[in-house]
Structure 1
């Protein structure tokens, strides 16, 4: 057991290096911070740290190879269940517009590339070329879904991608649309908004009494469809006698969800979610989600009759699973 003084001596040496090299202190939050020291200690006394040329030379090459191998290891998952390509546009401190491309699957999200998108290259045609390159890199047969924001040029890109690659779906980012909904609500007359949230119907509801926000890491696709319909149903239920008070808010939902965000993939997500598939009341209420799922299957199969047959048979098996489980548990 080393003394407190000995540990402090080591800590002080590390902190001096960080300060001298102008390395931000939050670098200590890196997942590799402690493992670096563990590896050095396991080597034993006499370890010499890599120099400048080692770091920017063969060690950099090895790290690039490891990252490449890690990304490539996801291809087996993409091949098995497909993936979603996501594009995130943002502006850095130098006011450059950058687009990050990522691939999501249940195993995790992988960064693919970052592109410096100059203003003159943000036309739909130029963006389409960028997205097309990413889809081909991942593999057309592996891409099920492409998600972007809802700017006009990205909407045009989505249509071009669906035309070029008939098996994939494009949809705008749900989080972006939900933010737009909240912005729409925020633009409403303040007195009208205050009147709604201070009304008797609202103050007596469970929502006014709930103070904790709940979140988890489960995929949201299977819950988005139900959440939007639940929000509409609750507004109508809580203000059944004073419908005019919520008409404006219902119109926002219709404008953003019904007319822009809602896609067949959301209906398919609802249908394939056991929480709703095995709830006869919920499923009966949204029977037409079955046609949304069938449309997704038809699009994904695209002239492959064997694949369509296989997917529809899996669909029937999924429905029967509830009965099988109930019999097993009896």
Structure 2
């Protein structure tokens, strides 16, 4: 995982970390004194680190979606075709949320909520009043990304709806000199508006499924590669249901998710992990009929074992069908409850087992490598 930025003293810095199922480890950093963060420089730095770690140990490189990183990915593909370069899921999902939040229906509510919280926190009197009525609980809550913070703040506002209404209806507010100011009247109008609170409820229903996925990919307690594709599919369904299957309401949102996911969170690596995760494959009949995801397995095997046709045939024609048909050790009822599933039950498909264990232990996010 690599990240690059320019600090406050205008120093240009890049750093690189290594992630495995044991966690994230810092490997190196580089001050680019006379170099820009070009695709070529990023490629050379990453390639040198791959050589240091050992190419046979590297499955993927994870970065954000900046154009220079995407350019470096093309250079790496030429030199190391079996190493994948994927986009950071945390960054991509945050882009989805920001784009959805920019739709007129949701932007109006988010802007009103921001103005309300800025007004309350900008004045000692309003802040003291708010904390009095909420029993010293804040309404602004930090999240893993800027939009996650906005979501948590909306959630906090809704939780404290009655307290905020009491505050703005109190004698103390009436006597406050801010009550007659333009921003004070606007804050009062927002808090007492049924349309605003209805908008907050709708925003939370729409954003919650994606924020749930965001928390999963940004967490360190579980590798997310085996879950990201399936959880995004689930999030789409939840959003459609939350909008009562109203096509005009959900279609712009689903379009945003699909466009932001394309070539970022739906690569053959993501879809193969989805197929090889028994949590989805054995519990959801739709997975077996997902032709695109099943074809992705063929593509991935072709990349990993380029021109090794006997091994490709062994995996695709012998081992993969054993897994898909739940034969041999895969048939045991206890198998689905095992935490180290492939390690315990994959002995009858040794080549597929090795692939599955490597892929399903991958992260999808580079946030562990960022400057903090």
* TM-score normalized by the length of structure 2: 0.56
1:131 aligns with 2:46: yes
- 2:67 corresponds, among 135, 148, 152, to 152
1:315 aligns with 2:320: yes
CA contact (8 A) 2:86 2:264 kept: no
Residue aligning to 2:300: 296
Residue aligning to 2:239: 235
Tell me how many residue pairs correspond in the alignment.
Answer: 240
Q: Structure 2 unaligned runs (5+)?
A: 111-195, 336-372
Tell me which moved more, 238-247 or 309-318.
309-318
- 1:107 corresponds, among 22, 27, 41, to 22
How many Å separate the matches in 1 of 2:258 and 2:333? Answer: 43
Q: Deviations over 1:72-113 (max 9, x none)?
A: xxxxxxxxxxxxxx1122444534232221222223332221
CA shift, 1:224, in A, is 0.5
CA shift in 2, pair 1:279/1:147, >3 Å: same
1:245 aligns with 2:160: no
CA shift, 1:299, in A, is 0.1
How many Å separate the matches in 2 of 1:157 and 1:200? Answer: 37
Tell me which moved more, 281-290 or 270-279.
281-290
CA contact (8 A) 2:239 2:250 kept: yes
CA shift in 2, pair 1:95/1:284, >3 Å: same
CA shift, 1:119, in A, is 7.0
1:188 aligns with 2:193: no
Aligned positions of 1:25-104 closer than 5 A = 86-104=1-19
Aligned positions of 1:269-308 closer than 5 A = 269-308=273-312
Aligned positions of 1:201-240 closer than 5 A = 202=205, 217-240=221-244
CA shift, 1:257, in A, is 0.8
CA contact (8 A) 2:12 2:36 kept: no
How many Å separate the matches in 2 of 1:123 and 1:315? Answer: 41
CA shift, 1:288, in A, is 2.8
Q: Structure 1 unaligned runs (5+)?
A: 1-85
How many Å separate the matches in 2 of 1:200 and 1:136? Answer: 47
CA shift in 2, pair 1:191/1:294, >3 Å: same
Q: Deviations over 1:214-257 (max 9, x none)?
A: 86712111111011111222223333552212222122112201
CA shift in 2, pair 1:114/1:229, >3 Å: same
- 1:178 corresponds, among 89, 93, 106, to 93
RMSD: 3.3
CA shift, 1:200, in A, is 12
CA contact (8 A) 1:196 1:245 kept: no
CA contact (8 A) 2:4 2:13 kept: yes
